[in-house]
């Protein structure tokens, strides 16, 4: 090589090294402290509404910071969801595109680049851009927060605003955090960055059409996209291991996971090795690949692992097996950043023995909640489709006479919307939290899915005895173990549930936002009043005999049985015929998604008479259940004295079409069954006559 050629080669190598520098990305869910404390952090308003197609005044960075390897000291903010370190930028660029692009803003970070604006509609602490600096040197974070922005041409409201933030870390990295999003208008944009001449750029998959996520104000469902500066040409990271929590003795287990290219050069080949319990290292070569920068590649190691050890030892039932998985020989070279090449894993081995699983479905509801009547309909559909499910309705969140302390504790911990429900207290893939919305039949679908979940223990009520004179009962709960349990704080919970609660006044009358709501003209509660008087509340949690989170259960191996005894006295007004007992076994942990339910059971409380306690003091009747109904419906009736009772149905023209009941009824409270055979589908007015007293109720009949 000539001396003249040497400087040219050195320059070429320097250029290649510069091109090797890039930002790698990762995504996580959960709260960020700088967002959680933003309101108390002394934030500064950059500009209030209304603003459209404008750049802010120049803002100074509070610490030294490098972007794409170069120092920057000031920035400007666009209402279209990005910042630029080009202090001369004079105009906003609203139309998002792919990166890098000569038409995109230069020297910019795009938190959510779209055609956005602020609207003057909101007068609250929102609908503006604020900044703050959080923490102490050398670990400060500078935050730019777009609060309640809306798409261009849309007026601000709580149903279409989105909030997101950009956080610049003093060390050089940055994050984009989606805090809340309730957009009813399709909103999509670009998330990424572009260098000072537009020649280099990085963006998240889906740009420029990443949809704004649907998020709540709960910080637990915030979505964070982290951007980390890397100067390595070759940097393959072992990103995830997809090992199950448990494995069955004698059954092969695939070692799965993903790698991510955090460098600038494509990865074409690498070695993958796993080792279980310090045993032989199993290495295989993955070749013929083209994993580009920031791309993830999912793998399954060709060599599966089969646990075959003795009971209680690594590789045997009743014990953990420890894995070590690593990558090496990336592109026939050592990886430039070996710190992210290795991950540990742990798998608990059991026998795979199971009994029938009965899913526990806990609905969060309230008499105050106008949308909750629809939650009741979802529970009715679930009860019919999944009769194995154990159903409980937890009343909380507002003025409701059926709220009780333990139920309120559960609601406070899970922070649900209303109506939402939990199925086996499990956070399923794709859910932001354990409580889930009712859309798409989600409650029913998850309950059906859980029917096939493994259940290493069985629960049953035994020796249930009810004394009608004292209105008290006693019962035993027996748990029988059929397999080894994943180690943890295993607990038993026992609930008292009243299946049909009817009261009067606020706290019992059910608010009904479907009443006359033209957005829901076909809803079963469209023709009902708001509130619904005499509403029948189903599966109501009345008491927990084991506190809010249960009592300790043995975590021993198969063959172990345990019995616990309980007693309780019914509350005044409770009807023993409508009471059932519910028991379930679950884990208790600090993290809510780890408090999963392993199995559940229920049993009726056997009464010695059909009518218990003192007779009602007045004639009362509730709403039909179910409503709509097909072949039969039930009508809650309370009579203070024996009285001739008649239930007559009229069509919407006022013509009498059917007499559903006409007989003398004894004093007491009952759920009167009515046959609807022969009635056409439609809406009917039922007139209930008890002597001289009359009450009208709406009944919908389907076929």
| Cα distance between residue 493 and residue 334, in whole Å | 54
- What 3 state SS string does 324-340 have? EEEEECECCECCCCHHH
Q: To 10 degrees, what angle do helices 442-450 and 372-385 make?
A: 30
| Cα distance between residue 672 and residue 666, in whole Å | 12
pLDDT for res 12: 34
Structure pTM? Answer: 0.67
pLDDT at 325 over 80: yes
Q: Is 10 helix (H, G, I), strand (E, B) or coil?
A: helix
Question: Nearest Cα to 34, choosing from 135, 111, 178, 112?
Answer: 135
Note whether 308 and 314 are within 8 A (CB). no
pLDDT at 353 over 80: yes
| Cα distance between residue 478 and residue 65, in whole Å | 63
Percent of the chain with pLDDT over 70: 92
Rounded to an integer, the average pLDDT of 187-198 is 90
Percent of the chain with pLDDT over 90: 54
pLDDT for res 63: 96
Reported confidence tier of residue 157, pLDDT bands at 50, 70, 90: low
Rounded to an integer, the average pLDDT of 482-502 is 94
**Could you check whether 236-350 and 620-701 share the same CATH topology?**
yes
Reported confidence tier of residue 614, pLDDT bands at 50, 70, 90: low
pLDDT for res 612: 45
Question: Nearest Cα to 312, choosing from 480, 489, 556, 562?
Answer: 556
Tokens in use for 321? 């097996």
What CATH number is given for 620-701 in this structure?
2.60.40.2550
pLDDT for res 143: 95
User: Which residues have a Cβ under 8 Å from the Cβ of 38 and sit 6 or more positions away?
Assistant: 130, 132, 134, 143, 145, 165
Of the segments 1-10, 400-409, 518-527, which one has the largest average pLDDT value? 400-409
Note whether 557 and 480 are within 8 A (CB). no
Reported confidence tier of residue 607, pLDDT bands at 50, 70, 90: very low
For the chain, give every domain's residue range. Answer: 21-230, 236-350, 360-453+490-547+574-604, 620-701
* E runs forming strands in 102-249: 108-113, 116-117, 128-134, 141-151, 162-169, 174-181, 188-194, 201-203, 210-211, 223-230, 236-241, 246-248
| Segment 38-56, tens digit of pLDDT | 755 667 888 777 777 888 9
Can you tell me which residue has the tokens 């180690």? 487
Rounded to an integer, the average pLDDT of 127-140 is 89
pLDDT for res 42: 67
Question: Nearest Cα to 178, choosing from 131, 220, 119?
Answer: 220
Reported confidence tier of residue 152, pLDDT bands at 50, 70, 90: confident
pLDDT for res 41: 60
The arrangement of secondary structure in 236-350, i.e. its CATH architecture, is Sandwich (2.60)
Can you tell me which residue has the tokens 């920057």? 72
Rounded to an integer, the average pLDDT of 635-653 is 87
* 447 compared with 468, residue with greater pLDDT: 447
Rounded to an integer, the average pLDDT of 196-204 is 89
User: Which residues have a Cβ under 8 Å from the Cβ of 672 and sit 6 or more positions away?
Assistant: 634, 635, 636, 637, 645, 647, 661, 665
Tokens in use for 113? 């680049």
pLDDT at 610 over 70: no
pLDDT at 183 over 60: no
391: Cα within 13 Å, side-chain hemisphere = 26
| Segment 673-693, tens digit of pLDDT | 787 877 888 888 899 999 888
Indicate the range of 2-16, 583-597, 656-670 predicted with least confidence.
2-16
Reported confidence tier of residue 2, pLDDT bands at 50, 70, 90: very low
pLDDT for res 94: 72
pLDDT for res 608: 36
Note whether 111 and 176 are within 8 A (CB). yes
pLDDT for res 636: 81
CA distances from 15 to 23, 106, 294 (A): 17, 20, 21
| Cα distance between residue 428 and residue 443, in whole Å | 11
Indicate the range of 348-352, 456-460, 593-597, 699-703 predicted with least confidence.
699-703
pLDDT for res 188: 82
Reported confidence tier of residue 324, pLDDT bands at 50, 70, 90: very high
| Segment 221-251, tens digit of pLDDT | 789 999 988 777 788 999 999 999 999 999 9
pLDDT at 14 over 80: no
pLDDT at 341 over 90: yes
pLDDT for res 450: 96
pLDDT for res 609: 37
Rounded to an integer, the average pLDDT of 378-395 is 93
User: Which residues have a Cβ under 8 Å from the Cβ of 294 and sit 6 or more positions away?
Assistant: 22, 23, 24, 25, 202, 260, 261, 262
Mean pLDDT value across the chain: 87
Note whether 636 and 536 are within 8 A (CB). yes
pLDDT for res 443: 96
Of the segments 27-31, 185-189, 205-209, 267-271, which one has the largest average pLDDT value? 267-271
């Amino acid at each position: 090589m000539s001396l003249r050629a040497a400087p040219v080669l050195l320059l070429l190598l320097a250029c290649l090294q510069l091109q090797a520098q890039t930002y790698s990305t990762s995504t996580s869910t959960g709260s960020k402290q700088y967002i959680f404390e933003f309101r108390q952090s002394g934030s500064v308003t950059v500009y209030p509404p209304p603003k459209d197609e404008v750049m802010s005044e120049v803002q100074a960075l509070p610490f030294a910071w490098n972007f794409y390897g170069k120092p920057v000291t000031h920035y400007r903010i666009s209402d279209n969801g990005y910042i630029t370190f080009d202090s001369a930028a004079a105009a906003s660029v609203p139309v998002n595109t792919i990166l890098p692009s000569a038409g995109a803003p230069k020297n910019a970070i795009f938190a959510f680049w779209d055609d956005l604006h602020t609207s003057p509609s909101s007068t609250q602490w929102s609908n503006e851009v604020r900044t703050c600096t959080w923490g102490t040197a050398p670990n400060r974070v500078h935050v730019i927060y777009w609060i309640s922005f809306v798409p261009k041409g849309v007026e601000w409201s709580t149903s279409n605003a989105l909030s997101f933030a950009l956080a610049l870390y003093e060390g050089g990295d940055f994050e984009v955090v989606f805090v809340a999003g309730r957009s009813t208008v399709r909103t999509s944009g670009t998330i990424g960055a572009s260098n000072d001449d537009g020649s280099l750029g990085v963006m998240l998959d889906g740009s420029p059409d990443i949809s704004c996520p649907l998020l709540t104000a709960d910080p637990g469902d915030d979505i964070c996209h982290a951007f980390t500066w890397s100067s390595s040409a070759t940097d393959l990271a072992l990103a995830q291991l997809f090992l199950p929590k448990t494995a069955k003795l004698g059954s092969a287990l695939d070692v799965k996971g993903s790698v991510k290219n955090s460098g600038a050069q494509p990865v074409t080949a690498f070695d993958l090795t796993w080792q279980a319990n310090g045993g032989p290292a199993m290495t295989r070569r993955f070749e013929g690949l083209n994993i580009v920068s920031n791309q993830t590649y999912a793998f399954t190691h060709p060599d599966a692992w089969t646990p075959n050890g003795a009971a209680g030892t690594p590789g045997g039932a009743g014990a953990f097996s420890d894995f070590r998985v690593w990558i090496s020989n990336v592109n026939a070279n050592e990886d430039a950043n070996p710190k992210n090449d290795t991950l540990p894993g742990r798998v608990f081995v059991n026998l795979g023995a199971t009994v029938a699983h009965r899913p526990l479905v806990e609905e969060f509801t309230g008499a105050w909640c106008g949308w909750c009547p629809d939650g009741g309909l979802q529970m009715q559909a679930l009860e019919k489709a999944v009769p194995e499910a154990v159903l409980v309705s937890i009343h909380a969140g507002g003025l409701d006479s059926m709220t009780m302390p333990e139920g309120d504790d559960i609601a406070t911990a899970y922070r649900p919307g209303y109506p939402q429900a939990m199925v086996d207290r499990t956070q399923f893939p794709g859910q932001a939290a354990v409580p889930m919305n009712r859309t798409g039949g989600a409650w029913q679908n998850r309950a059906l899915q859980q029917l096939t979940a493994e259940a290493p223990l069985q629960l049953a009520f035994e020796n249930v005895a009810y004394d009608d004179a004292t209105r008290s009962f006693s019962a035993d709960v027996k748990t029988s173990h059929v397999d080894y349990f994943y180690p943890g704080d295993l607990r038993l919970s026992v609930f008292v549930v009243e299946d049909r609660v009817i009261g009067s006044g606020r706290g019992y009358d059910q608010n009904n936002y479907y009443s006359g709501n033209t957005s829901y003209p076909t809803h079963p509660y469209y023709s009902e009043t708001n509130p619904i008087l005499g509403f029948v509340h189903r599966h109501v949690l009345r008491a927990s005999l084991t506190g809010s989170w249960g009592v300790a259960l043995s975590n021993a191996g198969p063959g172990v049985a345990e019995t616990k005894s309980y007693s309780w006295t019914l509350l005044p007004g409770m009807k023993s015929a409508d009471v059932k007992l519910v028991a379930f076994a679950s884990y208790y942990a600090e993290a809510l998604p780890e408090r999963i339910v392993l199995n559940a059971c229920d049993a009726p409380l056997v009464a010695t008479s059909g009518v218990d306690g003192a007779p009602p003091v007045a004639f009362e009747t509730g709403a039909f259940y179910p409503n709509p109904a097909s072949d039969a419906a039930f009508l809650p009736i309370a009579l203070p004295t024996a009285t001739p009772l008649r239930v007559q149905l009229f069509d919407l023209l006022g013509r009498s079409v059917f007499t559903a009941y006409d007989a003398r009824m004894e004093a007491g409270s009952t759920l009167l069954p009515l046959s609807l055979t022969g009635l056409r589908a439609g809406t009917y007015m039922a007139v209930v006559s008890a002597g001289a007293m009359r009450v009208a109720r709406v009944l919908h009949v389907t076929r």
